[in-house]
């Protein structure tokens, strides 16, 4: 039973992430939305793992890999945003 709730939570996160991405006005919001979506996808993977005890180790490994990929993508996105802000500040003054 608890598996179903968490998969609904996961899908909820994914859908909210997609909504946020469509609605975002600022680069940072877009990055946050994508990270919310990835948290949702990882949670979905984990609910797949937790369907039958013992919890399946392969999706958990995938999630670990996914988290590191998500953080590096976030870091790269933020670096680009910082540079964009600096360049626009330069072009103004």
Partner 1 sequence: MLDAILTLLILALAWHCVRTTDLFEAIVVFIALGMLVALAWTRLQAPDAALAEAAIGAGLAGALLLASLRQMPEMSATRAPGAKTTGLGWFWWGLWGALGLALVSGVAAIQTTSVSLMPQVQAHLSDSGVTHPVTAVLLNFRALDTALELAVLLWAWMAQKQLFVPGRQTVYPLQGQVLKTAVKALLPLMVLVAVYLLWRGSSAPGGAFQSGAVLASAWLMLWLAQLPGLSRKQGGMRLGIQAGWLGGVTVFLLVGLLGVFQGAGFMGYPPDQAGAWILLIESAAALSIGLLLASMVLVSMPDFQEGTL
Partner 2 sequence: MTEWGLALLVVWPLLWGALTMVVPARQVTVAGGLAALVTAGLGVWAVTLSPQFLVLGNWSTPLGLGWRLDGMAQSLIGVTAVVGGLVSVYAWLDKGLPPTFWGLWLGAWGAMNALFLTADVFHFYVTLELLSVASVAMVALTPGAGATRAAFRYLLVSLTGSMLFLLGVALLYGRYGVLDMTLLAAQMTPDWPSMLAFALMTVGLLAKTAVFPLHGWLPQAHAKALTAVSAILSALVIKAAFYGLMRLWLEVFGPLATVSASWVLGLLASAAIFWGGYQALKTARLKRLVAWSTVAQVGMLVLALALVVQAKAISSVPSVHLWQGLVWLIAVHALAKAAWFLAAGTVQKRADSDYLAQIGFALHRSPISVVAMALAVISLAGLPFTMGFLGKWWLLSLAWELQAWAWLLVSLLGSLLTMAYGWRLLNLSLVNRGLPQALKPVSVARDWVALCLALLGVMGGFGGHWFWEGV
Q: Which of residues 4-33 bind partner 2 (CB under 8 A)?
A: 14, 17, 21, 27, 30-31
Q: Please count the other Cβ atoms lying within 10 Å of the Cβ belonging to residue 37.
A: 20
Tokens of 27: 């680069």
Output 55 or 84, the one with its CB closest to partner 2.
84
Let me know: does 81 contact 28? Beta carbons within 8 Å.
yes
Count, residues near partner 2 per rule CB under 8 A: 30
Tell whether residue 34 is a contact of partner 1 (CB under 8 A). Answer: no
The residue whose two tokens read 């500040």 is 89
The residue whose two tokens read 């995938």 is 62
Q: Interface residues for partner 1 in 64-93 (CB under 8 A)?
A: 64-65, 67-76, 78-83, 85-89
Tell whether residue 46 is a contact of partner 1 (CB under 8 A). Answer: yes
Q: In the bound complex, what is the minimum distance in angstroms from residue 93's beta carbon to partner 2?
A: 14
Q: Which DSSP letter does residue 87 get?
A: H
Instruction: Give the one entry of partner 2, partner 1, none that residue 93 binds, where binding means its C-beta sits below a cut-off of 5 to 8 angstroms depending on kind.
Output: none
CA distance 65 to 32: 19
């Amino acid at each position: 039973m608890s598996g179903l709730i968490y998969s609904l939570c996961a899908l909820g996160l994914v859908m909210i992430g997609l909504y946020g991405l469509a609605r975002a006005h600022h680069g940072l919001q877009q990055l946050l939305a994508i990270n919310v979506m990835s948290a949702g996808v990882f949670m979905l993977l984990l609910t797949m793992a937790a369907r039958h005890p013992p919890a399946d180790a392969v999706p958990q490994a995938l999630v670990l890999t996914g988290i590191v990929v998500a953080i590096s993508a976030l870091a790269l996105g933020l670096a680009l945003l910082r540079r964009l802000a600096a360049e626009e500040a330069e072009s103004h003054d």
